Amino acid sequence: MIERRVLGKTGLEVGLLGLGGANHARVDREELTRMLDRGLEVGANCLDLYWNCEDQIGPAVKGRRHDFVLMSKIEVSPGQIDRLPEDKQDAGIQIDESLRRLGTDYIDVCQLHYVTDDDAFDRICAPNGVLERMLKAQQQGKVRFLGITSHHPTVLARAIKTGHFAELMIPFNVVRRQYGQDPAVGLFDLAQRLDVGIVIMKPFSYGRMHRNLVRALQFIVAHPVTVVIPGATSMEQWNLDIRAVQQFGGMNPTERERCRDEAWLLQEPHCTGCRYCLPCPAEMNIPQLYRMEQYVRTFGLTEWLSAERIGKLFVDT
């Protein structure tokens, strides 16, 4: 069995390891069901969900819904909500659609998904805004607890201080440690003081790590987090994740620091093209600029692309 922790003020007991939902839609339903079976065997009962994978998860949890903690999401950012049909974009409708797809009458944790900045959070909290709809759904029993996901610690710190949110989700890994450890924010300490559960996404830096994944997972669970949710897409990957957490025997500060210097780590910042850095305050399309840089290097255009030519480029934001 894996260690159990309490998901903040929800009081829900969850396994330290959960299953990330970004790739559920790519997994064969039978394989996904086997992975969920295996998770329950060891106590990994927390399922991260997206709207585009709930059709897969619904049949897989049928008849054993209460064995799982289901964490779904409400799309609120323009880049994400635009993927939904216009008549399905209202937060209340999104919740109802999730319930329908999952074949259940309640969601354990309903999360605001990808809140990019303070302005976005202000819009969410405005009268008749998304937060009001989520609170109404909570009063109706459709949602047990509210959560929030973001790549920005300052936004999360502000959100959990409102008292509305029992859980937060943030990227944190051996490469991108500043998301959770930035002393200027103190997000982990703040969440603990406010009894807010901490769920860690992107433990392998959005798939950029390919070696020593056991060590990478163990680095994360050595911190005061509640659940880490790698996006396993096969039983082989899932069993590797399970063993990593089962075998974890602790990691002191010196050992955690040593992880930073091990040769297999990605030491330089890298762009995954996730677009979570947008909109940029300097009005630059950062992922597109990184792609252009890759093209320049790949096709040997470094001499042709002079500073003068760069200055004439139009950057579409």
Residue 23 has φ and ψ, to the nearest 5°, of -115, 10
Are residues 266 and 211 in contact, defined by beta-carbon separation less than 8 angstroms?
no
Contacts 24+ apart (CB under 8 A), 26-29: 26/233, 27/56, 27/233, 27/234, 29/56, 29/59, 29/60
Q: pLDDT tier at 267 (50, 70, 90 boundaries)?
A: very low
> How long is the chain?
317
* Distance between CA atoms of residues 49 and 57, nearest Å: 8
Domain 4-261: assigned CATH number: 3.20.20.100
More confident residue, 202 or 278: 202
| CB distance 223 to 250 below 8 Å | no
Q: What is the pLDDT of residue 77?
A: 85
pLDDT digits (tens, 9 = 90+) for 203-213: 887 666 666 78
Q: Could you report the per-residue pLDDT of 61-98, keeping only the tens digit for each?
A: 999 999 999 999 999 987 778 778 888 899 999 999 99
Q: What token pair was written down for 189?
A: 């300490």
Minimal CA–CA distance to 50: which of 201, 275, 187? Answer: 201
User: The pTM is what?
Assistant: 0.84
Q: Across the beta sheet with 167-171, what order do the strands follow?
A: 46-48, 69-75, 107-113, 143-149, 167-171, 197-201, 227-228
pLDDT computed for residue 276 by the predictor: 65
pLDDT band, very low/low/confident/very high, at 307 (cuts 50, 70, 90): low
Q: Roughly how many angstroms between the first and final C-alpha of the chain, as a whole number?
A: 48
**Residue 312 in this model has a pLDDT that exceeds 70:** no
Return the beta strands (E) in 114-269 as ranges: 143-149, 167-171, 197-201, 227-228
Strands 227-228 and 197-201 come out as: parallel
Mean pLDDT in residue range 30-44: 97
Q: How far is CA 25 from CA 32, 40, 50, 58, 122, in A?
A: 9, 20, 9, 12, 32
Q: Give me the pLDDT at residue 61, please.
A: 97
- Considering Cα of 217, then 220, then 221, then 225, what sign does the dihedral take? negative
Domain coordinates in residue numbering, the chain: 4-261, 277-317
- In a 3-state reduction of DSSP, which class is residue 168? strand
Cis peptide before 171 (omega within 30 of 0): no
CA 26 distance to own-chain centroid: 17
Task: Return the pLDDT at 30.
Answer: 94
Q: Give the pLDDT score at 53.
A: 92
Say if residue 265's pLDDT is above 60.
Answer: no
